[in-house]
Structures are given as structure tokens and as C-alpha cells.
Amino acid sequence: MTVPTSTAGRPAPRHRVVVVGSGFGGLFAAKRLAKADVDVTLVSRTVHHLFQPLLYQVATGILSEGEIAPATREILRRQANVRVLLGDVLDVDLETRTVTFAGESTTASLPYDSLVVAAGAGQSYFGNDRFAEHAPGMKTVDDALELRGRIFTAFERAELAATTEERDRALTFVVVGAGPTGVEMAGQIAELAHRTLRGEFRSIATSTARIVLLDAAPRVLPSFHERLSRDTADRLRRLGVDVRLRTKVTDVDAAGLTVLNPQGEERRIAAETVVWAAGVEANPLGRLVAQKAGAATDRAGRVLVEPDTSVPGHPEVFVVGDLMALDGLPGVAQVAIQSGRHAAATIAARVAGRPAPGPFRYFDKGSMATISRFAAVAEIGRIRLTGFVAWVAWLFVHLLYLIGFKNRVTTLLHWAISFVGRGRTQRAVTRQQIVARTVLERVERDRVGGTTVDGHVPEAERQSA
């Protein structure tokens, strides 16, 4: 089935732009085309735009998923030249200029004159994809809700634990990867254990929870200035987080994980909840487009694009955001927003017969990460902020970029509840999540007959053997 890209009722199709993805790159590309004489079709595998930087707050019960994932259709409802479709793009034919996608019930193709691919990146387990089952990453709303379920039910399991060993394992949370996401997760789990849940349980003291943050790198937040890394590690330790650097994960299973410490010794950490915030890997669509265009990809699978973000040999195809490799630019929201807008501006200029804007120039607005309530680090050019001032800057910037007035209002309210007070309004865990996990664990136990999944013998048994 071919989906016509012109909007209903119009006789001659205008220049047809297909945008793949409703993340920062795709959404801002579509918005930038509002006044252009083009018909835009945005196709994405999710019905929402996702503000990934706040996923960790959904995972730890501060915000609801709706606040960070507004419907793309709603955001673009007033832009008459855009149509939004739900679909998983399977193929791009650069010769016939068609995109093939799987919709809810059918596979369809979309012809294009210009194409913007903004399919983003996924989690990388560095070749150990089986870790994903026990150590979910944090890239999507599903991931955040899965983690929320695991984190809150871990405390419930601890309350019911029959042995100290079982309780300690339930109360051990390991975050792998000490970049901004890992730091934010570790800080928030610590706040949950020490502030939010304090006094709510009868058999356990939640403040005895062990939160471990590990990374193979020698410091936390390696992309920030060293002083900010030090400050962050100190603050995390004061919050009770066990920060372990130069530590490599060699295995993850249902009972915990195995790490190689800086001395080169293997150690087991018995943990019920493992969060993977370590690597990123470009969406497979990047390799597909690159292969077809004869273009190169980098090690993470990102497409090496021309200076104007187009694919070599195909000036009508643009790859933007996390999927693009250009001048070593980082995979951050501002790169995606600005490159999406730049690709769109190039298309609009060509259609209007104006000179194109030329090479993409990134304007670095800085980076920030929160550590706990009232504490963050921020680096804006040469300005380096820590503590409360950085936190206020963080608060302001995130509110500014959140999409939708009502989301800003409710987010502010939920932040007040969590940061000024100590409550969390989004602690619901669905029965579906718990049942699915319990069934999965039973299947694993049956499969490996007493040992944990992957044939690992739990540490206690190994020692007594």
C-alpha cells in the first residue's frame, strides 16, 4: 500500500518531506517546516514525543510519563501541513525515494522528495545483549516504567524477605554507568531510600539500602570538567551512594552482577535491581541508510554526514540528532534540535529557491546534571556551577524545554511535592508489571534448576562449595 503524502483534497502534490522519528530531531525538523511550501509526514514508532532527560524522574516516581511524553499529534495539531503517522520504519529505498513502514495492521510505503531521518539511539550492552533482561536501560517510556516497577517492588520484597541475605539483595540497587543518567538515577534512588520511603515500612529500614554506582571510567561525569566530576562524586558519597570507578561489569544475571575491580579481581554483587545507563548504540536505520548510500558509519553505528547533515551522494536525505556523526558532536538534545531545524531550513530554502544555509553550526548551550534535590552541576562555556545555583539553572532550563503549558504547570507542582516536601506522586506499579516479572523469574528458575539464570551459582553457594 502506498500512502499519498499530500494532504487531503489538494490536486497537485507539493514537495513531500518525510520525517522519521518524533524525538527532538524529528519534532523540531517538522516544526521548522511550518511555513514552508511542503507537505510533511512524520512517522514514528511511538505516538508521543519524549523528553528523555527527565526519564529518570518517571523511573523514580517523581513525574508521570504523560508529563514528559506528550502526544506528537497534539503538539503539531495546529500545523496544517503536517500529518503524523504511527509506524515502524523498516526500509528506505534511496533509488525510488520511498520509506516503508509497518503500521498497526499493515505495511505501507511513503514516497518522499526530501527525507529527514531522526531515529535516535538505543542502549548498548557492548555486545552482551542478554544483560538487558536483568539490567534494563533507560531510553523509552517502557524502560522507565519497567524500572519504576522494579525499584518500588524491590522495597516490597525486602519487607517480606525471609532471610537477611534475601533482604540485603532486595535492598541493593546497582546503577551501571556514571554519566548524567547514571548519576541522576543513583541520586534519586538514594533520596527514595533515605527520605521518601522513610518510616513507611515495618520490617526494614529503607535507609539501609545500598546504592552502588559503577563505571569503567576513572571519574563520574567524564564529559564534564574534572572539578565538577569530583564535586559530584563527593556529593553522591555524602548521600550514601557507593561510587566505584575503574570497575567493569563482566556479567549480569537474575541474582546480581559480576564486576572486575581496579585490582583486576572478579567480585559478585548480589542485587535485585540493576539499571543500565552505560552505552549508546545508533538506531539500525542509520546503518541501513548508510549502506544503501555507500556512506560510512562510526563505531556506534552513526552515519557520517556531510557538513549540512545530508547523506553523502544524497543531498535530499538528511540524518540528524543522535543518529548523525558530525565533527564529534555529542548525542544531546540541543544537537538534535538544532540539526533537525538545520535540515528543515535547508529543505525550505531549496523549495523556495533561496540559497541553502550551508554547513550546520552547533551552538553549545552547555550541559547539566542533577545529583539530588537542590544540588546539580552545570557547565555553560567557561562557567561552572555546582550545588543549589546549578540546580536552579537546571530547573529553569528543563521547564523551558518541556513541551506544553499544562505539562510545565503539573511538573512544577510535582517537583514542589518531591523536592520541598518528600512525597512522590507517581508510585503506582501495575499488576501486569509484577505478574510478568514473577512469571519470567519462575520460568528462569525452572530452566536452570536451582541456580540462577545463565548457570550462575549465587555467591553464598559458591563460597560454601
Q: Determine which residue in the list 17, 42, 89, 110 makes contact with ligand FAD, applying CB under 6 A.
A: 89
All three cell numbers of 199, joined, read: 518510616
Is 182 an interacting residue with respect to ligand FAD (CB under 6 A)?
Answer: no
Sign of torsion over alpha carbons 278, 280, 284, 288:
negative
For the bound state, the minimum distance from the C-beta of residue 55 to ligand FAD, rounded and expressed in Å, comes to 4
The piece of 118-126, 289-297, 406-414, 419-427 that touches ligand FAD (CB under 6 A) is: 118-126
For the bound state, the minimum distance from the C-beta of residue 463 to ligand FAD, rounded and expressed in Å, comes to 36
For the bound state, the minimum distance from the C-beta of residue 124 to ligand FAD, rounded and expressed in Å, comes to 12
Which parts of 319-458 fold into alpha helices (H)? 333-352, 387-401, 405-415, 431-448
Per DSSP (E only), the strands in 64-178 are 82-86, 88-93, 98-102, 107-111, 114-117, 121-124, 172-176
* DSSP count for the chain of H helices, then E strands: 14, 23
Q: Determine which residue in the list 119, 212, 249, 270 makes contact with ligand FAD, applying CB under 6 A.
A: 119
- By beta-carbon proximity to ligand FAD, the closer residue of 22 and 206 is 22
All three cell numbers of 259, joined, read: 564486576
Q: Determine which residue in the list 111, 240, 312, 331 makes contact with ligand FAD, applying CB under 6 A.
A: 331
Q: Determine which residue in the list 3, 17, 20, 58 makes contact with ligand FAD, applying CB under 6 A.
A: 20
Position of cell 545463565?
454
Instruction: Tell me which residue of 286, 287, 326 sits closest to 308, measured CA to CA.
Output: 326
Is 360 an interacting residue with respect to ligand FAD (CB under 6 A)?
Answer: no
Is 333 an interacting residue with respect to ligand FAD (CB under 6 A)?
Answer: yes
For the bound state, the minimum distance from the C-beta of residue 361 to ligand FAD, rounded and expressed in Å, comes to 17
Is 181 an interacting residue with respect to ligand FAD (CB under 6 A)?
Answer: yes
Q: How many residues bind ligand FAD (CB under 6 A)?
A: 33
- By beta-carbon proximity to ligand FAD, the closer residue of 392 and 457 is 392
Is 25 an interacting residue with respect to ligand FAD (CB under 6 A)?
Answer: yes
Return d(Cα 166, Cα 162) in angstroms, integer. 7
Contacts of 109 by beta carbon, 8 Å cutoff, 6+ apart: 1, 2, 3, 98, 99, 100, 101
Read off φ and ψ for residue 324, nearest 5 degrees.
-100, 145
Residues of this chain, 258-297, that bind ligand FAD according to CB under 6 A: 283, 285
User: Pick the catalytic residue: 146, 184, 191, 272?
Assistant: 184
- By beta-carbon proximity to ligand FAD, the closer residue of 19 and 241 is 19
All three cell numbers of 321, joined, read: 540528532
Per DSSP (E only), the strands in 197-330 are 210-214, 241-244, 248-253, 256-260, 266-270, 273-276, 279-282, 303-304, 310-311, 314-319, 324-325
Q: Determine which residue in the list 120, 182, 256, 286 makes contact with ligand FAD, applying CB under 6 A.
A: 120
- By beta-carbon proximity to ligand FAD, the closer residue of 73 and 246 is 73
Return d(Cα 165, Cα 29) in angstroms, integer. 52
Question: Are 58 and 68 contacting, i.e. CB atoms less than 8 angstroms apart?
Answer: yes
Q: For this structure, is 67 an active site residue?
A: no
Instruction: Tell me which residue of 352, 364, 402, 76 sits closest to 410, measured CA to CA.
Output: 402
Q: What is the DSSP letter of 284?
A: H
Is 23 an interacting residue with respect to ligand FAD (CB under 6 A)?
Answer: yes
Q: Determine which residue in the list 5, 22, 386, 418 makes contact with ligand FAD, applying CB under 6 A.
A: 22
Is 24 an interacting residue with respect to ligand FAD (CB under 6 A)?
Answer: yes
Binding site for ligand FAD (CB under 6 A): 20-26, 43-46, 52-53, 55, 88-89, 118-120, 138-139, 180-181, 283, 285, 321-323, 331-334, 336
Annotated catalytic sites, by residue? 184
